[in-house]
């Protein structure tokens, strides 16, 4: 007796030795909201276990991988279930891979073809409601490749539609972006200064101190010495929307001084993601600041301003000049021939001169015991 030709196999290439391995059902939906709103899709995916039983697998040999249910990601890092599927196939534990759609398995070309190559080497066919496919055969491999290409194109179209809507709202100044310290978004979408006067006072104090001291570290030292904290509206968690007082940090003060929103400017696209700088497992890494000419949106006069545009430009120039590099003057540091702006200035007789108007007034008026 001779072996049957590929087109003579029963049920699209299911062989008896396939039944000795696992039939893996891969279940996935992109977001938790889809899991809640589209329960029928979830039911259909779990229903593939019965299809595996109809193809000859014992119920105990059907493995359901649903770790990616509610996970939105196209890479391996954010999809532990897909990683498990690839591992099981590579270890020759899988005799059949089932999914409602091939797009559920992978919308990324390299990942999809990696899975196909592993299934071809392991002799594991793939199945969906339309049929069973053997990636080791040319015609099935061609069809699976087309399905993967279409899925990848669909992902691109989805992202493009979302991007067009996002940039359209941003150019009208209507896209709700995370607000800097000292601002509050009303339920109707309008942005106002934080109604808490103490929060506004601290924000104004930071800009006044930097205008006087011209040093971020000087502003930080002054606030720490006087026990001044910064009021922040919590963005998530049980305290979302509530006012939380936190100890200032250098990066916090620097971000406030550099943010154009305090000058009343609505911006979008100040930073982009550089794939070469992303750290695996940390999706929010790899952000790179872009120059102003590369920002997508720049709309002056949209937000209520704490400072004028001239002062904002002056702050940026000071921060840039204070950087310790060969092309800039750098910040004033300790030394016998240097005048430290934090030290008291003395006259020719050695007597201290009165402080510049503003610092003592700012400290007396705007520093409140409740912030300590």
- Do 115 and 87 meet the contact criterion of CB atoms below 8 Å apart? no
Residue 51 region by backbone torsions, left for phi larger than 0, else alpha for psi between -120 and 50, else beta: alpha
- Identify which of 75, 62, 77 has the alpha carbon closest to the alpha carbon of residue 27: 62
* Vertex 192: Cα angle to 187 and 195 (nearest 5): 95
- Identify which of 162, 171, 163, 192 has the alpha carbon closest to the alpha carbon of residue 266: 171
- Identify which of 82, 77, 78, 85 has the alpha carbon closest to the alpha carbon of residue 106: 82
Structure token digits, residue 177: 């972006």
Q: Torsion angle, CA of 126/131/137/140, rounded to 10 degrees?
A: -100
Residue 103 bears catalytic tag: no
Catalytic residue of the set 30, 72, 151, 370: 30
CA distances, 226 to each of 221, 243, 341, 359, 365 (Å) = 9, 21, 18, 12, 13
Catalytic machinery residues: 30
């Amino acid at each position: 007796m001779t072996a049957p030709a590929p087109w003579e196999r029963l049920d699209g290439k299911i062989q008896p030795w396939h039944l000795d391995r696992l039939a893996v059902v891969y279940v996935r939906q992109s977001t938790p909201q889809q899991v809640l709103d589209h329960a029928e899709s979830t039911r259909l995916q779990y229903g593939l276990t019965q299809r595996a039983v109809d193809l000859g697998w014992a119920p105990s040999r059907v493995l359901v991988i649903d770790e990616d249910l509610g996970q939105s990601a196209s890479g391996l890092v954010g999809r532990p279930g897909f990683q498990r599927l690839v591992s099981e196939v590579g270890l020759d534990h899988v005799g059949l891979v089932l999914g409602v759609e091939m797009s559920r398995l992978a919308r990324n070309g390299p990942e999809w073809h990696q899975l196909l190559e592993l299934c071809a080497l392991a002799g594991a066919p793939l199945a969906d409601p339309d049929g069973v496919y053997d990636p080791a055969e040319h015609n099935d491999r061609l069809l699976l490749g087309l399905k993967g290409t279409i899925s990848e194109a669909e992902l691109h179209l989805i992202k493009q539609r979302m991007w067009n809507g996002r940039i359209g709202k941003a150019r009208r100044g209507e896209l709700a972006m995370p607000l800097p310290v000292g601002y509050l978004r009303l339920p109707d979408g309008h942005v106002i200064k934080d109604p808490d006067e103490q929060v506004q006072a601290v924000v104004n104090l930071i800009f006044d101190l930097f205008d006087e001291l011209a040093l971020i570290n000087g502003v930080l030292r002054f606030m720490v010495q006087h026990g001044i904290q910064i009021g922040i509206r919590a963005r998530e968690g049980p305290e979302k929307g509530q006012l939380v007082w936190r100890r200032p940090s250098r990066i916090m003060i620097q971000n406030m001084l550099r943010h154009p929103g305090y000058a009343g400017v609505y911006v979008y696209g100040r930073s982009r993601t550089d794939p070469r700088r992303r750290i695996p497992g940390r999706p929010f890494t790899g952000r790179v600041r872009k120059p102003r000419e590369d920002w997508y949106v720049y709309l002056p006069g949209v937000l209520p301003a704490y400072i004028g545009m001239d002062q904002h430009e002056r702050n940026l120039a000071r921060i840039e000049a204070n950087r310790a590099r060969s092309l800039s003057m750098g910040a004033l540091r300790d030394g016998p021939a240097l005048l430290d702006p934090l030290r008291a200035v003395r006259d020719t007789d050695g007597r201290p001169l009165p402080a510049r108007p503003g610092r003592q007034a700012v400290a007396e008026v705007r520093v409140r015991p409740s912030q300590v």
